[in-house]
Structure 1
Amino acid sequence: MMYEKERQVSFLYDLAPDREDVTFLNGNPFKKSPRIFGRKFIDKTHHEITVETIDKSDRMECGDYLEYDNMVWLCLNSFSFHNLYCRATFMSCDWKLFWQDKNGNIKSIYVVDQNSTQYNSGESGNQYVTLGAAQHMLRMQCNDDTVVFDTPQRFVLDKNIKNPTCYKVTQNDNSSYNYGKGLCCITVLETPLDPKVDQLVKLPTGEQVWICNYHSSNTDDTQPTPPLDHDSYIVDISGSTKIRVGIPKKYTVSIVNHDNNSSLLSSVPFSWNIVCDCEVEKTLSGEHGEIITLTVNDESQIGKKVDIQILIGNSVVSEKQVTIADIL
């Protein structure tokens, strides 16, 4: 009986007209392109979509990030129906939060930013919002970094880099969405920028961002991590073996510890190298530059090969060959 249901679900899934190919879950391509439907505004700012998958390796959970339609989406909830398919609700992110950890590493995460000035700030003893003081609710994936966000940590939430507005964490609710990866719902209250310790920093991508309480790397007493032997980690490039003309294609590198499978992207210096005798547009993204987007716009290059390489030092430690294909 269950086998017949699986066949029926698979058959209908293959016929679904709302499947989307150019989508990524947590930076990785889906094994089977997902269905995406039910797009709507849930307020005057944010979109909501329903995403459905049937392959077990494509299962989604609360706290996952989806890249779709040139936007990043945060998973609010999901469920599996008799293990036949997984359905999830995603909400559009509208801000990328930047901060610096104690070792000097600049980190970032996409958040759903909602103005909550009419609500309590979360600080004890304050029953009313001070007139003129804005506050926001930031929803983001709960992980080792975000779960410890607490007062007096500050962030800049402003596109105006000449005179930005700064916000201080007043509450971190990480228990309301305590399933899957989970969410952190962080309340921040407007606070002054401190030009003595806050700094405008230029990232390797060329983007300029404000970092509150900026400091140099390894200002604490911890010792720098010694260089790793090449045999101690595994490097892999994920992504399609075809780049279709005119369609951007993303590739993601993972660098994991050989012994415990933990990520080493923040501690192993690497670089991308693209080998091809034609013009390929390249754009880096991701917290550590671990995602590269390649685009070929010249139809005369169809059939040519592109070698995507990861370099550590001067050594090629991983390589993937892809073919430039027609759009059809």
Structure 2
Amino acid sequence: MSPLAPPSSAMEIGGLFMVGLPGQQLDQSTRELIQRDRVNDFILFKRNVGGTEQLGQLGADLARTCREAGLPPPLIAIDQEGGTVARLPPPFTQFADARVLAEGPEPEAALVDYARTCAAELLAVGINMNLAPVLDLCPAGQGFYMERRVLGDDPATVARLGCLVIKTMQEAGLAACAKHFPGLGSARLDPHQTLPTLRREREELERLDLPPFQAAADLGVAAIMTSHTIYPALDSERPATLSPSILEQLLRRQMGYRGVIVTDDLEMGAIENHQAVEEAALAALLAGADQLLICHDHQKVRRAKERLRQALATGQLAPARLAGSLARIGRLRQKFTGKAC
């Protein structure tokens, strides 16, 4: 057994997590995650939103509590895709689904307006990361559940329009996140409930699904979110979120992506129906993910942090692997909050 990791390394583990909050105010459990567990990245949902003043106060409270705990400014994220997936009610601007905008008479103008408006409205209430755009390809009229959330089914069009959204948001100071790598649009099952399998040949994946993500990686998208889906042509056993073949070999080495890899929610049925969240968190990190998304149960966050601490202490998780992920998250933080880890 390897000697225990230095205390400083163990203390930094909380910096890998992005977690949800239960309500509209900073609650005691979240406060303890910040103060005791050193967690300082958060994701917001409809349950956290009561209005612009309340939301701004929540963001300010999170930032202040992180600062008082000696932590850098938090990344505060939300899924504000528009249409089907939009967490913010009026008076925040309400947009149609991405596909409607992309297939309208002036798609570029509509999507630039969406991206600029999102950036202005989110940053005004302390949200500095939008988990958008969706870069999956999905044909229309065939019953796929992602149909309305995508920018189309042509890889060149999705790449062009997706990069336009990313560029516009990030130039305005809002981090973007391309999802769901390596492509979820042709899955018929919803990974929130069950584990899908997408049976495309590797050539088909490389020709259709990967080009939008390659374009986003080349552009410098702040983050790419993983898909809880099995792609037998890439890994016959593990979903992308847990697959070194997909995250480390394909996304990092072959495609050259240097930004943050964030998991989709590890509490989704596609993952949690098959293993405990803490085991999935370790597997995702070892596969190449950086930021571990746990959206609901704070006890699962704590168990996952403890599992990673044990893995670090026994040598199952190398300190260099932890340091690499923290460095990537730190660079994202520095760019979009102005301060590094």
User: Fold conserved (TM > 0.5)?
Assistant: no
Structure with the bigger percentage of strand? 1
Question: Higher relative contact order by CA 8 Å / sep ≥ 6: 1 or 2?
Answer: 2
